[in-house]
Amino acid sequence: TLLLPINALAQQAATDSSIVSNASISNSVYQASFFEQYSPQNALEMVQRLPGFKYDQGENNRGFGGNAGNVLVDGLRPTSKSGGLSGALIRIPAALVERIEILRGGIAAGEASGQSVVANVIKKSSGTSGTWAAKLRRAPDGNTQPNIEAALSTNLGDWDTAFDLDTGGGPGYREATIIDRDQSQQLISGADEIFENTGRWFFSNGQGSKEYHSGTLTLNGRIGADRRDSKVNRRIFDMRLPDQTAADEELDIDENRKSKMAELGIDWLDKGDLWKLHLIGLGLIRDSRYDNEIIFEDFSESEQSTTSFEQDSLKTEMIARATFSYNGQEKLKPEYGFEIAQNKLTSESTYRENGSLVSLNGADVEVQELRSEVFATFVYPHSDNLTFEGGLTGEFSEIKVTGEAANRQTFQFLKPRLSATYKLDNTSQIAITGERSVGQLDFGDFAASNQAQDGNIVSGNPNLAPDKEDELSLTYDLSFSEKGSLTVKLFHEWQQDILEQIILPLGGNRVGNAGDARFWGVVTDINLPLDGLIENGLLEVFHRYRDSEFDDPVTDDTRKISGYTPRFIGMKLRQDLVDDQWAWGIHYESHFMEEHYRAEEQISFEGNDRFHAFIETTRFFGLKMQLEVRQMNTGEFTRSRNLYDGNRAEAFLGTQVSSRTREPEYKFSLWGTF
């Protein structure tokens, strides 16, 4: 019902000669001048304003090959992992971008495998330019945190370099009312809760490229540290709702997370006349610590109990990758390669109750994965309108767990992929893709963990295996004006060995391979110019409908899989008053609900319709200024827990409903260049 009126408006806009720009549609090239109306500071902001282009920064899975996003820089994928594609684009000031090309039909599959529509950022050959940003974020309790960002691109001798830093903090605050009821819905207790958190971080990136021997050598580096501290104060009232009288109990939770990391990447590319050799090496290390302390006090009994959980973890990743791809004039363009990766996590945990050490299953664990891939991919433009792209990857891996729970597993996977893209005309295309993929295990699931606010300890599982997925998708893309576009994707996934909480044969609850499931849906993105109604106005609409089916191993019932939002609608309205140097916009997010299933409880989380707004200008002092208000109508979220006696197949014990409120939050930003 939503698409019918919007499609009608799109057809009307496409016939409006004042809007249509055939040059931009047929050539799919956007010169830097196109983006001036948005006053972008860097290449990322330019990419995010591309008409009809949905930015995908890729995944952060194991290895390098399976994490490609849909943006290239000078035809190449940036060689970094923890900083990601977004970090690489932020390091490119807008002043150094010559144009952005839209590549369709899988023609860039070697560097952005699996992406049918790719943006290629073309930089100017040389130059020096820098940008900076100063931001202030204010939470509803008045906690205000600054954030400073800066980026510089310049030539240092033979090196083409780029540097950036991002340092500052982010506040958070919410209030909640929590109601506990028994199985007959009789009131057990009420509570009021205040949650405060503050994040602080510092990250810096550097990149340098130069001609070396017969190719181009690129070095990437990243260092950084971050910390997040949160506090919960919960006043509990027995057998009554919260009021102004003295509480019967009080619960205080103090959580602290901090980590530091470093990454180094080496990239060498030799573009031969017929074949291109690309060598990549990456190393990443992350040292993290998490601790919490929970203090519960019963005023009527003058009793106090304390629990604490501490976890130290060290994660390392080493990657070596080589590709050899055809660069000649023949239609068929194959690529061959291999990748070797080693991932390792060492985790040590302790749990205490009133100072006494309590044994944990999976307290001290070391997980190591050695994985190798060999692959062959191809792009074949059968005609001007029809392009085939695909490949086959063989994966061989071993996961070794040592410590209290030892185990060793070996895996072999074949991962085929085939995609066909057909250009219906200069404005539209359709793509059909079939692919088998293997999921990324969270090594933290091999170790014990603590869910402080729910009071749960989860055991580690040494027997985890990667989940698998077979996906068939159909995607339709339409460009109907300089800014107008429509993308619709239908997909169906057959998932095996999905990861959900299960009950172990000897008791205990932990994440495990829970069985097979189906997952399907439709994703719609629309960019609709509103020139006939609002001068230089643009309405972006994104709609998600997703559903699933899964046989629950705990209850033997058929249910949805955990952790996704079945239905969601978002809208962004923006107007750029170019001559007046002002812009404003409103962002709408619809009501949502998602379900999470643990072995002993079912959790639902939902939120109300929310509105965000901004106003920005470039009229003063040569700076770009923006004031943003998030949740301007107040965010209202409800988290409901259905609790059971041991597991969800046993007796129902009652509910806990937390009604959370997030008042409006403000952010003021300044951007400049140097």
Report pLDDT digits (tens) over 345-368.
999 999 999 999 998 888 899 999
CA distance 155 to 673: 17
pLDDT of amino acid 502: 87
619 CB neighbour count, 10 Å cutoff: 11
* 8-state DSSP, 60: -
Weakly modelled stretches of the chain, pLDDT under 70: 1-27, 58-68, 80-83, 105-116, 505-508
pLDDT of amino acid 249: 96
pLDDT of amino acid 105: 60
Stated as kind and residue range, the H or E segment containing 9 is helix 3-14
pLDDT of amino acid 3: 37
pLDDT of amino acid 61: 59
Residue keyed to tokens 């609709």: 528
264 CB neighbour count, 10 Å cutoff: 15
pLDDT of amino acid 636: 96
Backbone conformation region of residue 26, classed left if phi is above 0, alpha if psi is from -120 to 50, else beta: alpha
**Cβ neighbours for 231, distance < 8 A, ≥ 6 positions apart:** 195, 196, 197, 252, 253, 254, 255
* 130-133 long-range contacts, CB within 8 A, separation 24+: 130/93, 130/154, 130/673, 130/674, 131/41, 131/42, 131/93, 131/94, 131/671, 131/672, 131/673, 131/674, 132/671, 132/672, 132/673, 132/674, 133/41, 133/669, 133/670, 133/671, 133/672
pLDDT of amino acid 435: 95
219 CB neighbour count, 10 Å cutoff: 17
What is the identity of the amino acid at 225? A
Burial degree of 99 (CB within 10 A; 0-12, 13-18, 19+): middle
Q: Dump pLDDT digits (tens) for 122-156.
A: 988 777 888 999 999 999 999 999 999 999 999 99
CA distance 111 to 333: 12
Q: How far is CA 233 from the centre of its chain?
A: 30
Q: Dump pLDDT digits (tens) for 520-557.
A: 999 999 999 998 899 889 999 999 999 999 999 999 99
pLDDT of amino acid 10: 39
pLDDT of amino acid 82: 66
Cα 465–Cα 468–Cα 469 angle in degrees, nearest 5: 165
| Paired tokens of 612 | 């965000």
pLDDT of amino acid 68: 67
CA distance 323 to 374: 10
Q: How far is CA 121 from the centre of its chain?
A: 22
- Report the sign of the C-alpha dihedral through residues 232, 238, 240, 243, in that order: negative
